[in-house]
Chain A
Amino acid sequence: MAQPAATESWSGGNEPMKAEYGKLMMWFFLVSDALTFTGFLTAYGFMRFGHEATWPIAEDVFTHFPGIEGDQPLLYVAFMTFVLIMSSVTMVIAVNAGHQLKKTAVAWWMIATIVGGLIFVGSQAWEWYHFIIGDKGGIELADGRVLKVAEAQTGEVLSLSQLVDGEAGHASNHLEKFGSGEVKTAFEANEGLVLQSPGKGHAQLTRAESLRLIQNAQVVQGANMKHNEYGQGQFANFFFFITGFHGFHVFSGVIFNIIIFYNVLLGTYERRKSYQMVEKVGLYWHFVDLVWVFVFTFFYLV
């Protein structure tokens, strides 16, 4: 194409970045969204660097895997990561098929992507459920610190159920609720127990100090926006906010994918001879995967 005269440059129709308008705007939206997530994750880092001693360690918090007894740190979140990467792959294949105008292939690979997205959102709901009902339970002191009951010798954390019921207790409480009174009585009766910090280094209080502080303490089980049994209060807030915001992105991505999938079936893009819309929702979908890569590292690994 010949170089347009200066006045013609302003009459529209140029694509200096050789990308269609909608795709370009999707990219710019994703940059701004990336900066939003940066704000959340760095704010998390800011609080965590300031409260290293009481900040819960993720592998002590997310320990469940459906159908497997006992502690399985990282396994469930690794599964979720796998699902999201896999759905990203099916999305690329759908976009690829779109370039070759293969309607049926685009439709099938988009179904696979949607299913992957739904499995991910469902997994997140499962994880939230376990986070909210709680695991081992904690002791919230009068000054707001949340500590764990642990063996002074080994540093092994006891669940409230193990504390109160002894040998018959479960390693995680789940739905069983314990009163402050019975927890205090059981704690006083067992000479080998102290209160232990949930954060890095698992610093322990002395037995005498533990006994003094537990007098005005409350039992916390599970997590909400005000109290959580895992440690520093903001940890639960950040968990709800960051994984919630990401989960909402996945959810809306699934909705977008379903709309575009429906249009694929109607033959809209077949008539246009262009599957650009699949590419645009594909960009959004990969971005969701990209954010999860960072959430996985900074929330669960580091």
Chain B
Amino acid sequence: MSDSSSPAGTRWIWNIFWLLLVVTGVEVALGIIKPTFLLFPLAGTSILNLIFIGLTLVKAAYIVQYFMHLKYETQSLRMAIYLPALVLIPYLTFILLYEGVEVYGY
């Protein structure tokens, strides 16, 4: 079975739990404090928002790779899941955000 390669015991699960919790805690703390030096504009948004997006992707990666076990599946299954998501989602995001600014005009 494909699950034979996943780590034994439940310790790894709690490690990931703590990681997700700490990352969420950092996000909430930054969201409440909103340090002014992080509000510097960059790439159409602010450094703070880019940090939020980066941390979100870290959390998403851990959930998909370990909780959903995708890391231990065959390569063909991994690619069948990752490729559509990783190509289409950024593509649609780019188009719609770009057009949102264009359509309503700044």
Which positions in A face B, CB cutoff 8 Å?
A: 16-19, 24, 27-28, 30-31, 34-35, 38-39, 42-43, 45-51, 59, 73-75, 78, 81-82, 85-86, 88-89, 91-93, 96, 99, 279, 283, 286-287, 289-290, 293-294, 296-297, 300-302
Q: Is B40 at the interface (CB under 8 A from chain A)?
A: no
Residues of A within 8 A of B56 (CB): 293-294, 296-297
Q: Select one of A17, A35, A47, A93 contacting B74, CB under 8 A.
A: A17
Residues of B within 8 A of A287 (CB): 68
Residues of B within 8 A of A81 (CB): 24
In chain B between 14 and 70, which residues have their CB closer than 8 angstroms to a CB of chain A? 14, 16-17, 20-21, 24-25, 27-28, 31-32, 45, 49, 52-53, 55-56, 59-60, 63-64, 66-69
CA distance A39 to B85 in the complex (A): 12
Shortest distance between the CB of A278 and any CB in chain B (Å): 12
CA distance A81 to B24 in the complex (A): 8
Say yes or no: B92 contacts A42, CB within 8 Å: yes
Interface of chain B: mostly helix, strand, loop or mixed = helix
> From A274, which residue of chain B is reached at the shortest CB distance?
B1
Say yes or no: B89 contacts A35, CB within 8 Å: yes
Say yes or no: B84 contacts A45, CB within 8 Å: no
Residues of B within 8 A of A48 (CB): 100
Shortest distance between the CB of A217 and any CB in chain B (Å): 24
Residues of A within 8 A of B69 (CB): 279, 283
Say yes or no: A18 contacts B52, CB within 8 Å: no
Shortest distance between the CB of B90 and any CB in chain A (Å): 9
Say yes or no: B97 contacts A45, CB within 8 Å: yes
Shortest distance between the CB of B20 and any CB in chain A (Å): 5
